[in-house]
Amino acid sequence: MNAAYAPQATLNLHARHYRIIEDLLEADPRRIEAAHQEVSPVFEETFVAFGDPGRLVGQLAHNFAGRILAQIAVPAFDWGRRLHDQEALRRMIVLKREAKEHQIAPEGMDAFLSQQPEDLRNPFTGEPFGWSAETYEIHFVPSAANYWKRETLIVVY
Amino acid sequence: MHAQTRKQSRWSFWRFVRWGLFLMAMVFVLPVLVWFIANRFDESPTQEALDYAAESPRQVADADNAWLLLAGIGAAAGEDPLVFGRRRVDRVVARSHESPMPPPDAAEVALFVDPVPKVGPDIEIDGVGELCPSRDVDCIAWARENTGMLERLRAANSLRLTRWQTALTLPDWQALYPPLLDGPVQDPSVATLYLNLLALELSQTLPFMPPNGVVIESTEPTTLEKLAQTVVFWRRVQVSPQDLISTLVAGRQIEDAQRIADNWLSMRIESVGRVKKQRLIKFWRRPAGPPNGVKRCATNSVVFSQPCVIRHWGLGARCGNVLMEPRSKDV
């Protein structure tokens, strides 16, 4: 045992963090922002409070090294958002295929997209995907914009 | 009397010094002592920690593990890539068990030199230095424009590509390298090259397509089935418990395959109705399980493996984020 490291306390923290991460990854994308809001205070409570000297002293008293280890083991980014975006892209390609199969004219695409069931809509909002009548594009604003390095994902009709 | 007073004041002085030293020691030493003693006591395991600790990594047989084949895909001709991959894994795992962990020795460095090396795009030879940037261009059109390069890469990587096709038939995927900062990283570029070659094959069928799309029954379905096979393969990887890198690689490969299918749709849409739908259904099928295939992948036994945390002090992020063993209950 290290002077500032308590193994089981560290594993307990790990477990707590990962339960939260699991919940976030399993959250319905339509309420993913709310889910993040809900877990944020838990992370605030367990992370090292460098900005709060009073709490920092308390945290220094026990398992400080373990607390840091547990903290840096929390993934730095939410890859679940990326996968939800990829699911949106899949849905848009499916819609393109369906529309082509049914010979939907570009003018009718707005209505066509509006008629789609839940599992062929924007996974984050439940709304129909966007349609650009000028460029003939089905589009969607991704949640993991930093990863995609673009503001919208498009599928050209 | 005078001497006695002097003696008393000297005694008072030394008593003052002794008490002063004692108090100073208490001020500085006591907190350290308390802190040290406090850290000698650990917490009891929480129920969450017990739950995670009770889970053991699933066991994937080498013969079923496409990841292992990819690890050994550069094996010499005639050597089983699964065996070659296993040798690499064993070597790295053995080193990771030494304490302190040594850097890779010459034998390990040599083991990670591929007897059948990867050949990639060469800007001096091909005029382009990368494979199709699928998010920016139509890969089928791009493949047609870069036929020369892709054919060169197909020939130069023929054995690796054949092995990759074998990997696509294997039922499972499990990363086996331990979580090391200087550890080897799996290179999935052969999978990307394979997709580029499928795009090339699709581009080669297009000029011969009559307007009614009947030709689709000749060569295209084979290529499309291969494309669908890759999607099915990576989806299987994605929905089973994996390390994060595998999850992300799988997502990108699926996306690339679907974009190629989308490019194909754009060109061939008039014949889509004639395509045997069961052949293509795999592209469009909703992923099995939750849409977010990383369900529970964040948790794993490596994170909860005490030796990992202790031995790789400071590598908690690596243990937690990068190389994660799967959870048995998801198998």
Question: Same structural domain for residues B331 and B243?
Answer: no
Of all residues in chain A, the one with the smallest CA distance to B264 is A97
Question: Same structural domain for residues A12 and A40?
Answer: yes
Residues B44, A101: C-beta atoms closer than 8 Å: no
Least confident of A1-5, A33-37, B77-81, B237-241: A1-5
Identify from B33, B37, B39 which residue to disrupt to test chain A contact, counting A C-beta atoms within 10 A and taking the largest count: B39
Q: What is the pLDDT of residue B244?
A: 78
With respect to residue B220, please indicate whether it lies within any of the assigned structural domains: yes
pLDDT band of B206, cuts 50, 70, 90? low
Residues B58-93: pLDDT tens digits?
789 999 999 999 999 999 999 999 999 999 999 999
Residues B239-256: pLDDT tens digits?
777 777 888 899 899 999
Of all residues in chain A, the one with the smallest CA distance to B138 is A156
pLDDT band of B307, cuts 50, 70, 90? very low
Least confident of A139-153, B77-91, B295-309: B295-309
Q: Collect all residues of chain B within an 8 Å Cβ-Cβ radius of residue A79.
A: 244, 247-248, 294
- Find the domain containing A45 and state its range: 7-76
- Find the domain containing B322 and state its range: 298-331
With respect to residue B173, please indicate whether it lies within any of the assigned structural domains: no
Number of structural domains, chain A? 2
Percent over 90 (pLDDT), chain B: 42
Q: Collect all residues of chain A within an 8 Å Cβ-Cβ radius of residue B136.
A: none
- Sorted by sequence, the CB contacts under 8 Å of residue B64 that are 6+ apart come out as B170, B171, B172
Of all residues in chain B, the one with the smallest CA distance to A62 is B39
Of all residues in chain B, the one with the smallest CA distance to A79 is B248
Q: What is the pLDDT of residue A138?
A: 96
Residues B51, A97: C-beta atoms closer than 8 Å: no
Q: Collect all residues of chain A within an 8 Å Cβ-Cβ radius of residue B269.
A: 100
Q: State chain A's mean pLDDT as an integer.
A: 88
Q: Collect all residues of chain B within an 8 Å Cβ-Cβ radius of residue A116.
A: none
With respect to residue B233, please indicate whether it lies within any of the assigned structural domains: yes
Coil, strand, or helix at residue B102?
A: coil
Question: Same structural domain for residues A36 and A97?
Answer: no
With respect to residue B161, please indicate whether it lies within any of the assigned structural domains: no
With respect to residue B65, please indicate whether it lies within any of the assigned structural domains: no
Q: What are phi and psi for residue B218, nearest 5 degrees?
A: -90, -85
Single-letter amino acid code for the residue at A107:
E
ipTM comes to 0.85
With respect to residue A24, please indicate whether it lies within any of the assigned structural domains: yes
Query: Can you tell me the mean pLDDT for A1-27?
Result: 84
With respect to residue A2, please indicate whether it lies within any of the assigned structural domains: no
Q: Collect all residues of chain A within an 8 Å Cβ-Cβ radius of residue B53.
A: 11
Q: How far is CA B37 from CA A7, A8, A51, B99, in A?
A: 15, 16, 27, 27
Coil, strand, or helix at residue B148?
A: helix
Residues A100-129: pLDDT tens digits?
888 899 999 999 999 999 989 999 999 999
Q: Return the higher-pLDDT residue of A110 and B215.
A: A110
pLDDT band of B3, cuts 50, 70, 90? low
Q: Does residue B144 surpass a pLDDT of 70?
A: yes
Pick B304's closest partner by Cβ from A2, A14, A97. Answer: A14
Question: Same structural domain for residues B315 and B216?
Answer: no
pLDDT band of B223, cuts 50, 70, 90? confident
pLDDT band of B289, cuts 50, 70, 90? very low
Q: Collect all residues of chain A within an 8 Å Cβ-Cβ radius of residue B247.
A: 79, 83
Smallest Cα distance from A57 to chain B, Å = 11
Q: What is the pLDDT of residue A44?
A: 86
Cβ B200 vs Cβ B220: under 8 Å: no
Q: What is the pLDDT of residue B1?
A: 54
Of all residues in chain A, the one with the smallest CA distance to B262 is A93
Question: Same structural domain for residues A102 and A128?
Answer: yes
Number of structural domains, chain B? 2
The sign of the dihedral angle between the CA atoms of B216, B133, B68, A22 is negative
